[in-house]
Chain A
Amino acid sequence: MTTPANLQKRIQRVEMCDIVKRFPGVLANNKVCIEVNAGEVLALLGENGAGKSTLMRQLYGLYRPDGGQILIDGQPQVFHSPADAIAAGIGMIHQHFMLVPTLTVAQNVALGLKSSREPQLDLERVSKRIQELAQAYGLKVDPEAYVWQLSVGEQQRVEIIKALYRGASIIILDEPTAVLTPQEVNDLFVTLKRMTQEGHGLVFISHKLHEVMAISDRIAVLRDGQMIGSRPAKGVTRDDLVKMMVGREVKPLAPQPLQTGPVCLGISGLRAMGDRGTEALRGVDLEIHASEIVGVAGVSGNGQRELAQCLAGLRKNTAGTIQLNGQDITQASLLERMAAGQSYIPEERMRDGAIREFSVQENLFLRDHAAPQYTNGIFLNFARMAARTREVIQQYSIKAPGGDTPIKNLSGGNIQKLIMARELSRQPKALIAAQPTRGVDIGATEYIHQRLLEQRANGTAILLISEDLDEIRTLSDRIAVMYEGQIIGIVARGEATVEQIGLMMAGIPLQETRAKASA
């Protein structure tokens, strides 16, 4: 069986017309219209918060539109829940996978479906069907494996199989490449091509321009809840798309090489345990010089988080040393590290970097509230603090109504700018920046990147940990690739291709790739 039987009643065309969706205080979708046809990939491009996911969640029945219409092959539809959308032939692969880790692949696929032997499960039959689908679409997966045992790429394949199993003919993919290695992205694209050949219509949500340009037939751009326009993917340029997304031109950064200084942050033989009780860092050696950005690339979960935490002093190492300007800070407390000139921008900004309910001003002074210039004896000097807050809001162009606004009302990008302002204000000698632009829009990302480069020019040693390979490649003077708790290789700017770095992220050292290439 090459063509799945459940594709018999294939949807030819889905239209969403004049969709309006309001959330308290936000107009998430303002009269948005899109259409998807069988056999094509429509990319939905836009910044975080532009309303892409909201729009698609309405097509999948998770939200009800406040206005507008959904038409399938010309017939108006009302979806009260995902069950209705699934029944109509819509599938969705969510950004955060909707899988139950403690269940097997087959159990995850069978969840919520009638069994042929109701009330008993018939997992053998489900497994057989999964294998048929896997065969037809090139989605290799073991139906008996538990989901927690699977890699992220495999989990995504399970998600796609889940949608196909339910006979979805229009499939929405919400930021499907965010968690994948470059190689896994290629595999995914092969699968997506196969799906369009089989007559599926796909909606590909993303904010990564080159991916969108590589995979889609048409590109629709959303900004601030409005449809800015839709273009055929052929002939469109990166600059056109950025302009549509951001509303102005954004020039790509091209940092100039700098004369680097002496070693500032020296890490040697660093070992540490992870949260699951396994060794997360297995001997990390890395040196970061003054006026240098060292990027740490790697698939998430290979020790980057633990490395950042060890350096920040939030996680105890079991072996190895950390030196800051020749001073051993391995055993130093957080306060001592700060005093020695180290700053830290944490990965989870809302959990470790700021307090949601606190105001801009309070968050800005979380650390330096006891500094002599902001105190009168044991009392806080609010006038000084307010003045400094106004200064920072101006200087870092933080979009906030005022210093007393709780930061939960700010966008991710503005919160991150605030944290940057706090961490950079004391001119750190070393800066650990973990995922500084994750979930941050292009405008703010551009700003944060410029700040990091400025800091580098000022002589700071910067360790940049990021899952965004483009970011790493743009900013880093040297790229260290982490794999299973070790640095598998360090390459200078421009020394390795994306593919080579991708292979390093998958655990294949550069020498091996090169040897193969020359053989």
Chain B
Amino acid sequence: MNELFSLAVITGILTSAIRLATPYLFAAVGEAFAQSSGVVNLGVDGIMLVGAFVAFYVTLQTGNLWLAVLAAALVGLLMGLLMSLISVTLKAEQGISGIGLYMFGLGLSSLLFKLLVGTVQTIDGFKVIKIPLLGDIPMIGEIFFQHSLPVYAAFLLVPVAWWFLEKTTWGLKIKAVGQNPAAADSLGVSVDKVRYFSVCLGSVLAGLAGASLSTALVNLFQENLTAGLGFIAVALVYFGGWKPAGILVGALLFSTVNAFQLWMQVLGVNISSDVAVMLPYLLTIAALVFATNRVRQPAALNKPFERGEN
């Protein structure tokens, strides 16, 4: 048990934590965009699965990681358009349509995997890039500055998303549409357009989250690779109070617990691996119970908009 607290192991855990936060960040920041505009997209996990498979498969076939990322973004966009069509244009119940999208993504990615690949294989994913100078600092360098490109991108996404939501005209429109769509509509803002944009942007990020998983973290694909990670991302949005910074805190908390349980297994700590794997999910429930700050919750979340209701 003592070796769990050695300097090397702690460094290892923290390094893994930073790495493992990547898909959470992409997916949860993306979901924050969708939810800020008033649409709950529960299909994140499904989009991630399809994104993960497509990125994996393109890499397997072409070896071109950039093409893989592009393809994952594209399928994310397509699935986002589908979600928007169902929930924004056709005004279907968002929770149900999101779960439908998840099932679709789960089934499609499994089917394609069986048809096109069949067995679990690994690919050459994104290489670790050590940042000059910073990467040489003992401990700090290893933990923060020796990662692959998608990891850096995920962390860079946080301030960019904050800037976009808080400082741009588009961010203002997204938040207004999520809080009071009738007000936005009365000022000539197209509620549908803003929601399509937000859901699609979120879905592209979910596709990238999947790609980061299959091409930068585990470098393989298998059925249900995400194991519900997308749902944790949805929970993180609530946990983070619809703010990128809050989501960052939540993502790191979860990835740290995840890294911890992985290292416990590696070091052979005498706890059933099933219990260890359960930890992040238990934490999800606990976090949601205690994250009661609903003040910032978009008031029009989950509500389709129709003009003229008084």
Interface string of B159-197 (1 = CB under 8 A from A): 000000001111011011001101111111110000000
Interface residues of B in 53-107 (CB under 8 A from A): none
Query: Do B169 and A101 touch (CB < 8 A)?
Result: no
Question: Is residue A376 within 8 Å, beta carbon to beta carbon, of the partner chain?
Answer: no
Report Cα–Cα, A115/B172, bound state, in Å: 11
Query: Do A110 and B179 touch (CB < 8 A)?
Result: no
Interface string of A102-123 (1 = CB under 8 A from B): 1100011011111100111100
What number of A-B contacts does a CB cutoff of 8 Å give?
82
Nearest-neighbour CB distance to chain A for B236, whole angstroms, equals 21
Once A119-B168, A120-B168 are accepted as A-B contacts, the answer to whether A92 and B186 lie under 8 Å apart by CB is: yes
Q: Which residues of A contact B184 (CB under 8 A)?
A: 100, 111-112
Query: Do B169 and A118 touch (CB < 8 A)?
Result: yes
Interface string of A83-101 (1 = CB under 8 A from B): 1101000001010111111
Query: Do B172 and A62 touch (CB < 8 A)?
Result: no
Select A94's contact among B172, B173, B186, B299, beta carbons within 8 Å. B186
Query: Do B172 and A103 touch (CB < 8 A)?
Result: yes
Once A62-B308, A98-B180, A111-B173 are accepted as A-B contacts, the answer to whether A121 and B168 lie under 8 Å apart by CB is: yes
Question: Is residue A429 within 8 Å, beta carbon to beta carbon, of the partner chain?
Answer: no
Q: Which residues of A contact B189 (CB under 8 A)?
A: 111-112
Q: How many residues of A contact B (CB 8 A)?
A: 34
Question: Is residue B310 within 8 Å, beta carbon to beta carbon, of the partner chain?
Answer: yes
Question: Is residue A81 within 8 Å, beta carbon to beta carbon, of the partner chain?
Answer: yes
Interface residues of A in 51-91 (CB under 8 A from B): 53, 57, 60, 62-63, 81-84, 86
Query: Do B187 and A112 touch (CB < 8 A)?
Result: yes
Query: Do A100 and B179 touch (CB < 8 A)?
Result: yes
Q: Which residues of A contact B185 (CB under 8 A)?
A: 62, 82
Query: Do B187 and A86 touch (CB < 8 A)?
Result: yes
Report Cα–Cα, A74/B179, bound state, in Å: 39
Q: Which of the listed residues B176, B182, B186, B189 has the most CB atoms from chain A within 10 Å of its own CB?
A: B186
Nearest-neighbour CB distance to chain A for B223, whole angstroms, equals 41
Query: Do A82 and B187 touch (CB < 8 A)?
Result: yes
Select B179's contact among A53, A82, A102, A113, beta carbons within 8 Å. A102
Nearest neighbor of A148 in chain B, beta-carbon distance = B295
Q: Which residues of B contact A101 (CB under 8 A)?
A: 179-180, 299
Q: Which residues of B contact A112 (CB under 8 A)?
A: 173, 176, 184, 187-189
Report Cα–Cα, A165/B308, bound state, in Å: 24
Query: Do A110 and B307 touch (CB < 8 A)?
Result: no
Report Cα–Cα, A281/B179, bound state, in Å: 29
Q: Which residues of B contact A162 (CB under 8 A)?
A: 187
A residues adjacent to B (C-beta < 8 A): 53, 57, 60, 62-63, 81-84, 86, 92, 94, 96-103, 107-108, 110-115, 118-121, 162, 166
**Shortest Cβ-Cβ A-B pairs, 9 listed:** A83-B188, A98-B183, A112-B187, A112-B189, A98-B186, A119-B168, A100-B179, A82-B188, A100-B180
Instruction: Pick 10 A–B contacts, CB within 8 A, sort by A.
Output: A63-B308, A81-B188, A82-B186, A96-B182, A98-B180, A100-B180, A100-B184, A102-B296, A103-B175, A103-B176
